[in-house]
Amino acid sequence: MVSGSEGPPAPSPAWAYFFDVDGTLADLAPTPAEVRVEAGTIARLLQLYHASEGAVALVSGRSIDDVDSMFHLPALPIAGQHGLERRNALGTVRRFEPDGRALDRARDALSAVVMRHPELLLEDKGLTLALHYRGAPLLASFAHRTMTALCVALGSGFTVQGGKRVVELKPAGTDKGSAVLAFMQENPFRRRTAVYVGDDATDEHAFAVVNALGGYSVKVGIGATTARWRLGSVAAVRTWMEQGEAA
């Protein structure tokens, strides 16, 4: 659905900006803990934040605390764990409360899996559990089967979603698209043109929402997508951020 190879129009201070983190504002690394955001990218994000009067948010699979530790911008609105927790422009944080006992069972089961297959990495984000196979791509099918079986055992309150060499178990009912919709109903995002930039399958929910709102959906990197525009890499995202009236 991408409209061309030239990338989206130059940024405008009249827009509302939503950015994924890993693979969008920061290059991927062997493990989530090794991902680093360049200082210049953070500076540019802060410039966009001021130019748009605060209409910038990060929408990530990471927790809010984890994103804060990467960017050190405590006033920045953030949707963490695919929208299961969200900090609005006023600093108010709302979190989804999952079935804790079910998550504990899943955590124990996945810990046992990783003990048997140490090439896999279990990332416990608090509200979601991610099984990474970036270091063991041959175990991709096994990881997905394991998560799917676990999700079925836990019942309808949970769902499985895939990403770039990761499969994640999360409470059902929220995603990055619903997080964007929630932000767009609040100031300073309200009545602005929505722009979402992301690289992964989990960003497709947000692309669909932004498309329905008549905004700019931007896919980073290769792959099929519902986004209407494309940027080739994290470096290209930063170059694009430096253009236009908001520069």
What is the overall mean pLDDT for the chain? Answer: 94
Q: Which CATH class is domain 100-171?
A: alpha beta
The predicted-structure confidence for 124-161, as pLDDT tens digits, reads as follows 999 999 999 999 999 999 999 999 999 999 988 999 99
Q: Which residues contact 220 (CB under 8 A, 6 or more apart)?
A: 20, 23, 24, 197, 198, 199, 230, 231, 232, 233, 234, 236, 237
Q: Which of 20, 22, 66, 200 is catalytic?
A: 20
pLDDT exceeds cutoff 60 at 48: yes
All structural domains of the chain with their residue ranges: 15-96+174-241, 100-171
Spatial separation of the C-alpha atoms in residues 145 and 241, rounded to whole Å: 39
* Mean pLDDT (whole number) for 35-57: 96
**In the prediction, which pLDDT does 246 show?**
47
* Mean pLDDT (whole number) for 174-194: 97
**At how many degrees (to 10) do helices 140-154 and 100-116 cross?**
150
Catalytic residue list contains 99:
no
Q: Which residues contact 14 (CB under 8 A, 6 or more apart)?
A: 52, 192, 193
**In the prediction, which pLDDT does 15 show?**
98
pLDDT exceeds cutoff 80 at 3: no
**In the prediction, which pLDDT does 98 show?**
80
The predicted-structure confidence for 75-104, as pLDDT tens digits, reads as follows 899 999 999 999 999 999 999 988 889 999
The predicted-structure confidence for 200-243, as pLDDT tens digits, reads as follows 999 999 999 999 999 999 999 999 999 999 999 999 999 999 99
Neighbouring CB atoms inside 10 A of 188's CB total 16
pLDDT exceeds cutoff 70 at 35: yes
Q: pTM higher than 0.75 for the full model?
A: yes
Coil, helix or strand at residue 33: helix
**In the prediction, which pLDDT does 247 show?**
46
The predicted-structure confidence for 162-173, as pLDDT tens digits, reads as follows 999 999 999 998
Q: Does 100-171 match 15-96+174-241 at the fold level?
A: no
**In the prediction, which pLDDT does 100 show?**
84
pLDDT exceeds cutoff 70 at 245: no
Beta strands 93-95 and 129-132: pairing type? unpaired
CATH number of 15-96+174-241: 3.40.50.1000
